[in-house]
Structure 1
Amino acid sequence: MFTGLSAFPITPLNQDGVNEAAFTRLVARLAAAGVDSIGALGSTGVYAYLDRAERARVARLAVEHADGVPVMVGIGALRTREVLALAEDAQQAGVSALLLAPVSYHALNADEVYNLYATVARNVSVPVCVYDNPGVSRFDFSDELHGRIAQLKHIASIKIPGVPADPAAAAQRVARLRALAPAHVSIGVSGDKFGAAGLSAGCALWYSVIGGIFPATTLAITRAAQAGQADEAARLSARLQPLWDLFAKYKGSLRVVAAAAGLMGLAQQPCLPLPLQAIDGADREHLASLIDTLALA
């Protein structure tokens, strides 16, 4: 399952908790679009704001409505015992893989992060993806640490936060990490503006936030890169620069994608856990225009 496009939907909320109807529509929409896998309860899926019962329910709903598309579920939490409990819940739901970020309040060191992954690897029976997202976790993985973790049983993929803009430098970055990991451990790119560059540089898959809301748009970029059409993939990605600019303005994609879900009728607003809020005002109007003029779907 660790190739192609892994699409990460939001987890829409309402006053009662998870908006199950909206979430299942999003998952079914991704499956119908033909994404290669679905990543539920990632950062865009606001996993950190949900309790254990809600996360277990979301995992079950994702698997039930994915129509056979492999589902990966985030299990990050502050304490290792909570991570293990979430891993057990997700496995009982029938997920195909687990996504683990080193969540912390006090900053973690490299040995603590390694021990987290080692403990989880000893206690699960499905593949685990290493979630390297320093913008959220405030932890910077070294290549050496990635290499150590990649040797552990059940580690199957490393989700890196982007690649250099220069194609040669991007290829060198991926090759350097590729050399440290066993052949069965895939390297995947995240940070949507880096998707095309990462795939063309040798990443096996794109872990994509916009894939969770605009699967057709994202699949076009992915398939071009997979076919060796790096220029076409770059062209399709460059069209989305106004979207990348909005992501940068709001220090991430979550608030923008949540607004897009509302504009497209996929989730009622507000759909984020307070105090988080989707973008509004002139920027929301600008986003609506982009969805129309760029034919995002």
Structure 2
Amino acid sequence: MFRGLSAFPPTPTDAEGTVQAEALSRLIDRLATAAVDSIGLLGSTGGYAFLSREERRRAVEIAREAVDGRTPLIVGVGALRTDAAVALARDAKQAGADGLLLAPVSYTPLNDEEVYRHFLAVAGATDLPLVIYNNPGTTKFTFSPDLISRLSDLPTVAAVKMPLPAGGDFAGEIADLRQRTPPGFSIGYSGDWGAAHALLAGADAFYSVVAGLLPKPALALTRAARAGNADEAARLDAAFEPLWTLFKQFGSFRVMYAIAAELDLFHAAPPRPVLPIPDEALPRVAAAIEALEG
């Protein structure tokens, strides 16, 4: 479940935050048909923080029916309160999740002990394997190697989803984490424009935003890099460059809504207060997609 390409789709909703069941089902079927290695439902790209508990559970139920056992379903259960995250973890298991993804969402800045106890409670709420979501750009909390090591000793904590290293030393960071974590513990990365480098350096997984809507080119990049084919990985990564530029300029969350509309997968605005990308940028989105699919 925590190897290869994990695709993170948006969660189409109406203006009131109600999940659009037919649209979400189509997205999940598209990913399972493409044979991604797992689907990351209700990650940051899936806008989990904008959804009620009821809609989050309903999204899992919709996805579970659509995936029909073809691909493991990893579900984000982040929440401000520990008791809320525990409830979401139990909901996800009951609704059919295969694994969990947990970010330490906060308003008050958290310290290591608070995050450890938060994970201890959520990891103990079900028997599902859990991924540590190290996402300091959003949560403003950075997991130290020592904290990752400590959490990896919990029975159900099976993987970590890392941000791109500031200095670009993937190999060094991966080697350090492997020394600190049990055998078989999965080390993966998000930050799509660094995926090829991470996988070539020995990362186990690519937790991908773009794969949520463009699974085939993302799979090609993943397979080339995991096979150690640096030249092919570099060629494919270069084809993605116009899209990476848009992600960096506007934020991948906003750009994914534009991609979905361009591909006629769904038509919905990002949840407010987030605004769509400017209309004048839409031709660049179309051109970036054409470069990948042409």
Same fold (TM over 0.5): yes
**TM-fit CA distance, 1:247:** 1.1
Q: Confirm or deny that 1:290 pairs with 2:269.
A: no
**TM-fit CA distance, 1:288:** 1.1
Structure 1 Cα separation of the partners of residues 166 and 86 of structure 2: 34
Say if 1:293 and 1:235 are closer, same or farther in 2 by CA, change over 3 A. closer
Deviations 1:41-87 (A, max 9, x none): 00010000000000000011111111321000000000000001000
Q: CA RMSD in A?
A: 1.3
Partner residue in 2 for 1:267:
266
8 Å CA contact 1:6, 1:35 repeated in 2: yes
**TM-fit CA distance, 1:148:** 0.8
TM-score by length of 1: 0.95
Structure 2 Cα separation of the partners of residues 284 and 165 of structure 1: 32
Task: Report the count of equivalent residues.
Answer: 292
Structure 1 Cα separation of the partners of residues 228 and 103 of structure 2: 31
Runs of 4+ displaced beyond 3 Å: 163-166
Partner residue in 2 for 1:26:
27
Structure 2 Cα separation of the partners of residues 269 and 98 of structure 1: 26
8 Å CA contact 1:199, 1:222 repeated in 2: yes
Opposite residue 21 of structure 1, the aligned amino acid is E
Partner residue in 1 for 2:252:
253
**TM-fit CA distance, 1:40:** 0.2
Partner residue in 2 for 1:236:
236
8 Å CA contact 2:239, 2:291 repeated in 1: no
Partner residue in 1 for 2:103:
101
8 Å CA contact 1:165, 1:197 repeated in 2: no
Structure 2 Cα separation of the partners of residues 64 and 203 of structure 1: 31
**TM-fit CA distance, 1:165:** 7.0
Partner residue in 1 for 2:67:
66
Partner residue in 1 for 2:172:
172
Gaps of 5+ in 1: none
Partner residue in 1 for 2:188:
188
TM-score by length of 2: 0.96
Gaps of 5+ in 2: none
8 Å CA contact 2:7, 2:31 repeated in 1: yes
Deviations 1:122-143 (A, max 9, x none): 2211100000011111101111
8 Å CA contact 2:89, 2:126 repeated in 1: yes
**TM-fit CA distance, 1:164:** 5.8
**TM-fit CA distance, 1:293:** 2.9
| Identical counterparts, % of pairs | 47
Partner residue in 2 for 1:7:
7
**TM-fit CA distance, 1:213:** 0.6
Deviations 1:200-252 (A, max 9, x none): 111111000001010001000011112121231122112212211111112x3
